[in-house]
Amino acid sequence: MNYSRFLTAVSAARRPSAIRILTELQQRSPPSLISLAGGAPNPDTFPFQFATIKVKNGDSIVFDEATMKRALQYSASPGIPELLSWMKGLQKSLHNPPTLAYSPENGQMEMCVTTGSQEGLCKVFEMLVNPGDNVLLDAPTYSGTLAALLPLGCNIINVPSDQHGMIPEALGDILSRWDPADAHAPGSSVPRVLYTIPNGGNPTGASMTAQRKQEVYELARKYDFLIIEDDPYYFLQFQKPWAPTFLSMDVDGRIIRTDSFSKILSSGLRIGFVTGPKPLVDRVVLHIQASTMHTSTFTQLMVSQLLQDWGQDGFLRHVDGVVQFYRSQRNAMLSSADRWLKGLAEWHAPAAGMFLWIRLHGIADTKQLIMEKALEKEVLLVPGGVFNIDSSEACPYVRAAFSLSTPQQIDEAFKRLSALIREAAQP
Ligand SMILES: Cc1ncc(COP(=O)(O)O)c(CNc2cc3ccccc3n(O)c2=O)c1O
């Protein structure tokens, strides 16, 4: 694939940081090398000496003095080698991307660590989206994505979707306004990027079927666009086998996947990953070099040691426990919805994630209801309009998260919401 056609002017202008090249050169050199190059601070001056982090299974992660000095020091922009290597092993086991065996210039699978998948998304958009570009996505969508995309001045084209995710026929209809042959013409307006959340969508809870992913992928091949597979809820799928990912079917090297440890290990540690064709991931790293330089070495080392101790089987056993928790939370929310909201609202049972997308009857726009009346009743949800491309558009939906509240709190919250809807619907 010709990846240069996808790059923004900003991204094409980025060059490797000379300092980072020296840092990585030094890190690859034998200890006998004497470096007067890097402007790194001397870790002997740092006030932190060592750390022991107790893990719930009884194990401990120990940062002795040498490890602590490394943890507190600058590290490589793509991520620390041991974490990247472990994650590449996991991606191979879970997705077995066809691009694993490709040459770098042909899109060999590469990865980098990001400070949460939010940073990954922001850097990927900065790399691919120029002002005026047509970008395809299925709204309502994650508000953090809209926050990153909209200021770039692109034209977001909303692709219709339902509880099974983006509708390929609707995407095909939208694309039919262009001739695929024009895709490579200079200044072509054929969309070059499609973004979607394939599992446990935020806010809709929708999960794409494998069939729909295959059909969307074929359209991406026909019109030669990239797919950003934003999949932080991949590990929160309530049924096995987990759905095949776009990455697992990527014979062309046109998938850029963002993963996150936020929903399964920690959201505060800010660990995410970008997986995709090497020419593009290497470019994302250039954007990282010019902003955060790298994700915290401390948190990368901490997570890396945990994963080394667990191995893939141990990691997946941990994930099973997390899934069990969220499945039971989802079931509690669904039974409370049945108890309090039947006849007042409608919803679909999510197969993954942590959100229930609820359409309230008799209410054209939930914004005022939530921002004023709901607070009086001491119940808080997210008004659906914030997930629309135009947040001022009326939206009868609310997003309810079943991640933090107890089943008892969820039940009381829906009892209060039902009173709200009844009052609001009265003439
Ligand atoms: C589809 C999709 N893609 C990327 C991300 C970012 O996750 P990261 O790996 O942690 O950076 C997210 C995180 N979503 C949310 C985050 C959040 C944080 C504070 C408070 C509220 C939040 N609400 O409501 C959210 O939905 C997401 O849902």
φ, ψ for residue 60, nearest 5 deg: -135, 145
Show the tokens assigned to 124: 């990927």
What letter does residue 195 receive in the DSSP assignment?
E
Sign of torsion, CA 45 46 48 51?
negative
What letter does residue 204 receive in the DSSP assignment?
T
* 51: three-class secondary structure by DSSP: strand
Pocket of ligand 1 (CB under 6 A): 116-118, 142, 144, 197, 202, 230, 232, 260, 262, 267, 272
- Given a cut of 80, whether residue 426 has pLDDT beyond it is no
Q: What is the pLDDT of residue 419?
A: 94
**Alpha carbons 72 and 69: distance in angstroms, whole number:** 5
Does pTM top 0.95 for this prediction? yes
* Nearest ligand 1 atom to alpha carbon 260: 9
CA-CA distances (angstroms) from residue 103 to 65, 97, 226, 251, 277? 40, 13, 19, 13, 10
Mean pLDDT of the region 256-269: 98
Q: What is the pLDDT of residue 24?
A: 76
- Given a cut of 80, whether residue 285 has pLDDT beyond it is yes
Show the tokens assigned to 264: 């399964």
Q: Chain-centre distance of CA 192, in angstroms?
A: 19
Confidence band of 238 (pLDDT split at 50, 70, 90): very high
CA 317 to ligand 1 centroid distance, Å = 23
Exposure string for 368-379, b = 16+ CB within 10 A, e = fewer: ebbeebbeeeeb
pLDDT digits (tens, 9 = 90+) for 177-216: 999 999 999 889 999 999 999 999 999 999 999 999 999 9
Number of H helices and number of E strands within the chain?
13, 15
**Alpha carbons 172 and 222: distance in angstroms, whole number:** 10
**Beta carbons of 90 and 318 less than 8 angstroms apart:** no
**Alpha carbons 161 and 138: distance in angstroms, whole number:** 6
* 342: three-class secondary structure by DSSP: strand
| Sheet strands side by side (includes 255-260) | 109-114, 272-277, 255-260, 226-230, 193-196, 134-137, 155-158
Q: What is the pLDDT of residue 352?
A: 98
Exposure string for 154-176, b = 16+ CB within 10 A, e = fewer: bebbbbebeeebbbbeebbebbe
CA 232 to ligand 1 centroid distance, Å = 8
Pocket test for ligand 1, best of 87, 117, 199, 234 (most atoms within 8 A of CB): 117
Q: What is the pLDDT of residue 200?
A: 97
**Beta carbons of 322 and 339 less than 8 angstroms apart:** no
